[in-house]
Amino acid sequence: MAAGKTVLVVDDDPDAVEFVKTVLSQIKGINVVTAFDADKALKIAGSQPLDLVVLDVMMPGKSGFDAFAELRQDEKTQQIPVIMLTAVSEVTGMKFGAADMGEFIGKEPEAFLDKPVDPVKLEKTARKALKL
């Protein structure tokens, strides 16, 4: 792999995971690993080096907000860039972004993208977070 970057995609919806994986796979040298819940994602993040996490907000059990907070509290994972994906705006009609999350959790993700995600915007955002 040219870039040798590993991205973890986390969403409870297998179709959403496949969509994000397909978009990110267009970036040369990207290795995509997946998880369908926050607990598995946190185990993966703690056990292997990651260059980016793409994390859904609304998942059963532990939410993406909770997983993000745990990533930021752990010394091994606190520097991993995170892109949050959410349907919060679509479901509630309320806008919610990275700055709001900073107020809510105390730390901001690198980006906060609304679902349905524009593939071009997702790729550009991932490239920026990966410094490609």
Model pTM?
Answer: 0.86
pLDDT in tens, 3-60: 589 999 999 999 999 999 999 999 999 999 999 999 999 999 999 999 999 999 989 9
Of 45, 2, 122, the closest CA to residue 34 belongs to 45
In one-letter notation, the amino acid at residue 88 is V
What is the rounded CA–CA span in Å between residue 125 and residue 81? 11
Q: What are the structural domain ranges in the chain?
A: 5-129
Type of residue found at 1: M
Cα-trace Rg, the chain:
13
CATH architecture of 5-129: 3-Layer(aba) Sandwich (3.40)
Dihedral of CA 21/27/33/35: which sign?
A: negative
